[in-house]
Amino acid sequence: MLLNIHVKNMALIEEIEVDFAEHLNILSGETGAGKSILLGSVNAALGAKVSKDMIRKDAEYGMIELVFSVERQEIIDRIRSLDIPVDEDGIVIISRKIMKNRSISKINGETVTLSILKEVSSLLIDIHGQHEHQSLLNKKIHLEIIDSYGKKDIEPVKAQVAEAYCRYKALEKELKAADIDEEERLREISFLEFEIQEIEQARLMDGEDELLEKDYKKMCNSRVLMESAGEVYRMLGYDESHSVGSILGRAVRQFSSVTRLDEEASSMGEQLEQLDSLCNDLNRELSDYLMSLEFDDEAFKETEDRINLIHTLKSKYGNTIDKIKAYLNKQKARLNDLTHLEERIQELSYETEKARQELDSLCAQLSKLRTFAGGELAAGIKEALIDLNFLDVAFETAFTKMNGYTADGYDEACFMISTNPGENLKPLPDIASGGELSRIMLAIKSILAKVDTIDTLIFDEIDVGISGRTAQMVSEKMSHIARNHQVIAITHLPQIAAMADSHYFIEKKAEDTKTTTSIIRLSREGSVKELARMLGGVEITDSVLVSANEMKDMAEKVKSY
């Protein structure tokens, strides 16, 4: 669950920090006080696009930090699999620092990409924005909701469908490419034969280029190397009286005559002999090395030409010898296909049809799972809608089969609804009003929450377009969801605010030339006063306070936890 939010320099927020609790957390306050800025900051921390204008005036940066407590081991394991450390206490801290030209996101101190940030966020929190219920007007969303509800069974088959679809489309593309006229076929054969011949004539060997470059460098540097090595050879040699070898030889002979006279002298004599032996060995190695450095114009030219040939092939067919050979094999296979085109077309036709049948079978399997999940989901949504004051509602899911396939199968889904007795079911996008859509989305969220592993749900003004008895029923549904989830909601309605387990008041203050937003957690008495403000407006009378207190008492009796 979300334990804490810390926001600094975002719009009207100079700096606020708030701790959230379990169950139902309600945020209320005057219009324009900054409630949506707070949730907008949460969205920003989780990877949403942010305008640079969101940074508070005269501030260099904006910063948001969210602290989550994660209890589910499978979620902790998933986060760790992304190379993000999570301690045994399950604390996950997401932060985002937003500057004028860039932003930096971190999870538990590790800098992360936007894609990883969003993946981790999707495991921890589900945010229902102000206008998210409008997404129900898009039928594609209906199928996504069904898949989300039945994901335990649907996701594995859906992954198989996506894989089979890729195979089928690749074969279909290859079959289409194989259908060429004779003139084009002969032209491509000629070109392939040229490329194959050019590569094969080079007789490339693995690692050859590296050896050639090494030899070429050695040849280019041979003169300098010969001069330096030759000078050292002369210094260490035995041919000149003043060389190291000659001097060492004389030293050995000179000292050997006295080594038998003293044990310590004998030890030093052995060391002299070892030095002489080492010098002799090194001299032989230098002699061999100098022999290998002899410059050969013909060998140099051959090496240079070979390197140039390989560089030419690399520029045309791949930047390594392995890639050139892979390209050669690919072109040989293509040449074979074109040489035996009739047989290849027949083979591809068979493989494509086989892949289509496999895809169709998987799509049928996926469709069956969706139909079952859609039926279960529709029944659950209908019950939830009745709880939300849709008294005579009928709700079903309708599936149609598309012409063709996609990576998601061949299904199209549409939620069908009737809100009045005797009326035929009609597509949800065709008949639902804004207030109805808001309640329908809440009903859907309440059902998805039962199968989801996400602990925290945020609702930004789920109460749009409702009032009275309907608002009371919405508050009860939210309380029901909050029994097993942490729910954070912004509301303008006292019926919903009264149901709060933790009630927060957001206030805008103007001091001198500065406007800021603050947030405080209300006591029960403070919550009742805020309910009275929401009920009565500017003037709060004793009777309004009594009504607010009764509303709070009633809400506490309704709660099932």
Sheet strands (E) in 419-501: 426-427, 456-460, 486-490
Nearest to 103 by CA among 46, 19, 143, 186: 46
Torsion sign (Cα): 542, 543, 546, 548: negative
pLDDT at 119: 92
Nearest to 248 by CA among 273, 283, 284: 273
Whether residue 270 is contained in a domain is answered as yes
pLDDT at 200: 94
pLDDT at 383: 93
Q: Is 108 exposed, middle or buried (0-12, 13-18, 19+ CB in 10 A)?
A: middle
Partnered with residue 295 across adjacent β-strands are none
- Boundaries of domain holding 274: 149-358
186 & 73 share domain:
no
Of 339, 358, 377, at which residue does a domain stop?
A: 358
**Alpha carbon distances (Å) from 337 to 104, 177, 347:** 52, 11, 10
CATH number of the domain that residue 30 is part of = 3.40.50.300
Of 336, 358, 380, at which residue does a domain stop?
A: 358
- Chain-centroid distance of CA 547 in Å reads 50
306 & 199 share domain:
yes
Q: Go through the chain and tell me how many residues it has.
A: 561
DSSP sequence for 99-127? ESS-EEEEETTEE--HHHHHHHHHHHEEE
DSSP sequence for 37-62? HHHHHHHHHTT----GGGBPTT-SEE
Task: Indicate the pairing of strand 110-111 with strand 125-128.
Answer: unpaired
- Domain count across the chain: 2
54 & 17 share domain:
yes
Nearest to 487 by CA among 519, 439, 446, 426: 446
Nearest to 219 by CA among 208, 206, 233, 211: 211
Structure tokens at 455: 């602990």
**Alpha carbon distances (Å) from 263 to 258, 260, 266, 269, 422:** 10, 7, 5, 10, 123
CA atoms within 13 A on the CB side of 169: 10
Whether residue 158 is contained in a domain is answered as yes
330 & 463 share domain:
no
> What single-letter DSSP state applies at residue 13?
E
Structure tokens at 71: 């209890």
Structure tokens at 156: 């594995």
Whether residue 414 is contained in a domain is answered as no
Task: Indicate the pairing of strand 103-107 with strand 110-111.
Answer: antiparallel
pLDDT at 56: 86
CB atoms within 10 A of CB 4: 14
Tens digit of pLDDT at every position of the chain (561 positions): 999 999 998 888 888 999 999 999 999 988 766 777 888 889 899 988 887 778 888 888 999 999 999 999 999 999 999 999 999 999 999 999 998 888 899 999 999 999 999 999 999 998 887 667 778 888 899 999 999 999 999 999 999 999 999 999 999 998 998 888 888 888 989 999 999 999 999 999 999 999 999 988 888 887 778 778 888 888 877 667 677 777 877 777 777 777 777 777 777 877 878 888 888 888 888 888 888 777 777 888 899 999 999 999 999 999 999 999 999 999 999 898 888 888 888 999 999 999 999 999 999 999 999 999 999 999 999 999 999 888 889 999 999 999 999 999 999 999 999 988 888 999 988 876 667 888 888 899 999 988 888 899 998 877 777 888 888 998 999 999 999 999 999 998 999 999 999 999 998 887 767 777 889 999 999 999 999 998 876 678 888 899 999 999 999 988 867
Whether residue 465 is contained in a domain is answered as yes
Of 358, 386, 402, at which residue does a domain stop?
A: 358
105 & 213 share domain:
no
262 & 159 share domain:
yes
**CA 443, CA 136: separation in Å to the nearest integer?**
12
Nearest to 92 by CA among 458, 445, 455, 450: 455
SS3 at position 11: coil
102 & 199 share domain:
no
232 & 316 share domain:
yes
Structure tokens at 38: 């707070």
Contacts of residue 390, defined as CB under 8 A and 6 or more positions apart, other chains included, come to 419, 436, 439
pLDDT at 192: 94
74 & 171 share domain:
no
SS3 at position 417: strand
Task: Indicate the pairing of strand 24-29 with strand 514-521.
Answer: unpaired
Amino acid found at 52: K
Whether residue 469 is contained in a domain is answered as yes
pLDDT at 434: 67
106 & 197 share domain:
no
59 & 182 share domain:
no
- The pTM for the full model equals 0.69
Longest dimension (CA), the chain: 129
226 & 184 share domain:
yes
SS3 at position 540: coil
**CA 133, CA 173: separation in Å to the nearest integer?**
40
